């Protein structure tokens, strides 16, 4: 596992965008796994500043709410369109988001899992971590080998996401999320974390036991994980967490 520790949240975006740009240059038809939420936004902003040909890049979002009307501004389909597809000039036809308004969401989830496989799998999966250790919307208790499916959001996750809605009640109760097993099949996992409020859970995920109680702990079992964290989020990591130390400008690597 490589861990880059950088001074600010915006620097997490620069470092992660540099990693993605290098992947796309070496594989112009790379398949990206796209995350929403606050943590990845600096990545997309920074990647937009790179001169890299995105015309053959495709993407799969990690998750989507179930039950928001199509076109709802906080549906992840819309967030991905605004924050990723338009900014990076990705071909919208090449970017998939689970269908949260499908008549049969379980079926839509299974089809989505199959579509990722049919596309040859994900080259780099961008990830954030929730305060409860969730990865995508795999809440605590999710099987470590789970597939893309319908999940019920915890109250903690609904409360964290209420900031995007006018009232807390508007946050949907359910979602379609890539499963932990699905995520683990991506060839490279790129976790971005910022803020002191994530320090405890990041340390639990990377230094604690691998357990469904902390879904992000499954990252410890993946052969190619890069963590990019700001100083605040990295502040509780055990010394020696980063087994591979790599230096980049402005970053202290290998905690």
Residue 39 found at the interface with ligand PGA (CB under 6 A):
yes
53 noted as active-site residue:
no
> Which residue number, 19 or 94, has a Cβ lying nearer to ligand PGA?
19
> Which residue number, 13 or 94, has a Cβ lying nearer to ligand PGA?
13
One of 100, 130, 172, 242 touching ligand PGA (CB under 6 A): 130
One of 18, 33, 37, 100 touching ligand PGA (CB under 6 A): 37
> Which residue number, 18 or 42, has a Cβ lying nearer to ligand PGA?
42
Torsion of CA 79, 80, 84, 85, to 10 degrees: -120
One of 18, 98, 128, 133 touching ligand PGA (CB under 6 A): 128
Q: Which residues pair with 138 in a beta bridge?
A: 135
Compute CA distances 36 → 135, 183, 244, whole Å. Answer: 11, 15, 28
132 noted as active-site residue:
yes
| Residue 103: both structure tokens together | 């008549």
Q: Which stretch binds ligand PGA (CB under 6 A): 33-41, 65-73, 206-214, 222-230?
A: 33-41
How far, in Å, CA of 22 to CA of 42, rounded? 17
64 noted as active-site residue:
no
In whole angstroms, the minimum distance from the beta carbon of 252 to ligand PGA comes to: 22
Give the DSSP per-residue string, 42-91.
HHHHHHTTS----TT-EEEESEEEESPPTT-TTSHHHHHIIIIIHHHT--
139 noted as active-site residue:
yes
Q: Which of 113, 123, 134, 188 does the annotation list as catalytic?
A: 134
What residues numbered 44-103 form the site for ligand PGA, per CB under 6 A? Answer: none
Residue 38 found at the interface with ligand PGA (CB under 6 A):
yes
CB 37 within 8 A of CB 76: no
Pairing of strands 2-6, 225-230: parallel
E strand or H helix at 3: strand 2-6
Residues that bind ligand PGA (CB under 6 A): 37-39, 128-130, 134
Query: What are the catalytic residues?
Result: 63, 132, 134, 139
């Amino acid at each position: 596992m490589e861990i880059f520790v950088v001074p600010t949240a915006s620097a997490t975006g620069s470092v992660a965008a540099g990693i993605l740009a290098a992947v796309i240059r070496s594989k112009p038809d790379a398949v990206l796994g796209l995350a929403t939420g606050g943590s990845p936004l600096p990545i997309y902003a920074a990647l937009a500043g790179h001169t890299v040909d995105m015309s053959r890049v495709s993407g799969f979002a990690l998750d989507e709410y179930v039950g928001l009307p199509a076109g709802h501004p906080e549906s992840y389909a819309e967030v991905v369109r605004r924050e990723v597809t338009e900014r990076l000039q990705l071909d919208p036809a090449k970017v998939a988001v689970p269908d949260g308004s499908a008549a049969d969401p379980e079926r839509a989830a299974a089809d989505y899992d199959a579509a990722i496989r049919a596309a040859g799998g994900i080259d780099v999966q961008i990830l954030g971590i929730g305060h409860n250790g969730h990865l995508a919307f795999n809440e605590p208790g999710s099987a470590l080998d789970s597939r893309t499916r319908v999940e019920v959001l915890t109250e903690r996750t609904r409360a964290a996401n209420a900031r995007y809605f006018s009232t807390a009640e508007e946050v949907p109760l359910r979602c379609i999320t890539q499963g932990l097993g699905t995520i683990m099949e991506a060839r490279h996992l790129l976790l971005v974390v910022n803020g002191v409020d994530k320090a405890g859970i990041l340390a639990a995920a990377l230094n604690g036991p691998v357990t469904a109680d902390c879904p992000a702990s499954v990252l410890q079992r993946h052969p190619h994980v890069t963590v990019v964290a700001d100083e605040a989020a990295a502040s509780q990591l055990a010394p020696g967490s980063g087994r591979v130390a790599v230096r980049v400008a402005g970053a202290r690597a290998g905690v």
